[in-house]
Amino acid sequence: MTAPQSSASFNPAREDFLAQMLHGLEASQHVHVLRTDQGTAVIDADHRPGSRVAVISGGGSGHEPAHAGFVGQGMLSAAVPGDIFSSPPVSAVLQAIRAVTGDAGCVLVIKNYTGDRLNFGLAAERARAEGYTVETVLIADDVALPDVAQRRGLAGTVLIHKLAGHLAWEGVSAAEIAQRAQRVAERLRTIGLALEPAHVPGEADQAEEKPAHPGPAGGAAPEAVARHAELGLGIHNEPGAHNVVVTSAAGAIEDVLAGLQLDAPRDASSTEAAGSGGSEADQQLVVMLNDLGGCSAQEGLILAGALAEQVGTHRISRFLGPSRFMTSLDMHGFSVTVAPADAELIAALDTPTLAPGWRTPTVPGAGLSASAEAIAPSTAAEASAAEVPATAEGRIEEAVLAACRALVAETGPLDELDRRTGDGDAGTTFSAGARTVIDAIDQGHLGFSDPRAALGAVAGLLESRMGGSSGVLLAILCAAAAHDLAQDSAHAEWASALGAGIEAVGFHGGAAEGDRTMLDALIPAHRALQQGASLRAAAQAARDGANATADLTARAGRSAYVPAEAQSGVQDAGAVAVAVFFEALAGQLE
């Protein structure tokens, strides 16, 4: 797959990429960038060659935070970066060895790519000739291409950074670190999946457009958009195993886990290493979810949820991510790495480090407790609503139902109004609240024989079910109104209660009449009722107030951030919703 140049990027030209990135790295991390004619190395600013083993890794740039982001106490002593997707020169690796290696020697952690193997290997030989003790660990965790003899080194490399760095700080010898790290490395498995390849600075857009996945017969739009993805796409845009069609995060995770074959031993050597402690299916796992560079934070969390569910939290000893451990510039994809959770690896993962790129692992489910279950058997709103009987004649209930149904009917027009000055969901939000009240009345859970209890129940329902700022504001209105009401419906002072609710909304919401909010309909309606006008007259006052918002500039709510010219001539959706409610209420009661 050929990578296109992104049309929107802050990246400089390819020839300036490494220098500018290292400049930022040095400004933002506790490292020293060693620049000489032989190349560049990133050194832990606190590292002093001495009795501890130094751990060194590196490779082409474009995979950050790997490897320079893992330089720091408890992980790497140095990282050697090359140009984008290019191995660093032998001289740069040798320079790093000389800079950080003392009498205890060093361990080189090498990804299994030809350039890395050769350049790090030759640097190791030259360093040995100079008298340094140098051990190497080779990472080949990619299992996407089982028929390829030379498996690639992927995000599992970072786990070996952590293990080797931990052992070095524990005072383990270089030879022993290499032996233990290699044993773990041979049991790592990683597979990536990408929707889009990396966009490499300076390369022309040559990507072939993937064919759209056809929808169902009859031309109906599918519920989920189907997209083609490449399973096993390499971190240098090398071809993967094959294309797959994904419609969801769960489906993408399923494809990756099928390739990882969690319950099968990777090879004979790993079977021996597993010992006699049970089958692979019984083993606890370390699971890493790695963002390849282009996933949003939200996508990462959704993928994490699907991954934990499909692997099973009971099998996951430590979960790392979602986070960027080893990226491929802005590749829109992710990789999953799994490893048997042996005690030494777990101890290493749990030990703190100063490396800025590291993400502390979690233990899935550890935060759950019986106390959480005890506080959420049901909502207070549901409990109180169930206790409020209907009035004998049912007039108030029928009026409220009519008003709520009117709001549901206006979902589309209200959304369209809101779309012109906000995020376009006002109708949907008011409809959600209305449907909640309709359901409660229809199911016999909500009546108005006790107005105070009824409005208190409505407040709870709107708070928990309506959503958005409007839901909270209307819940405040109902709660404050309930506090003002008498318990007997025959003696309820509805105008006074509405005034108390409006006052609370203004106080907590920070808005007043004229600020282009729902108050511009509520306050005129309340004013009319206070003056002894009919409910129909109050509804007309609410409509007039809503219409007047077209000439107002918002000073509260999300619309306050919308340019005034965009608001001109457009009514506030919340005020219109209030007018719709009052008009339907009046039509039923008068």
Just list the catalytic residues.
Answer: 236
The whole-angstrom separation of Cα 557 and Cα 431 is 19
- How many residues would you count in the chain? 590
Dig out the tokens for 560 from the structure. Answer: 């306050």
* Integer Cα distance of 467 and 462 in angstroms: 7
Q: How far is CA 546 from CA 75, 503, 513, in A?
A: 62, 19, 11
Could you tell me if 551 and 496 are in contact, meaning their C-beta atoms sit under 8 angstroms apart?
no
Question: Tokens at residue 246, please?
Answer: 């994904």
- 3-state percent helix, strand, coil for the chain, nearest multiple of 5: 45, 15, 40
Compute the chain's Rg from CA coordinates. 32
- Cα–Cα distance between 541 and 557 in angstroms, integer? 22
Half-sphere exposure of 360 (CA within 13 A, CB side): 7
Helices (H), ranges, 410-493: 411-421, 426-442, 451-465, 468-484
CA 496 – CA 244 distance, rounded (Å)? 63
DSSP state of 395: H
Sheet holding 332-340, edge to edge: 242-246, 227-231, 189-196, 332-340, 285-291, 316-323
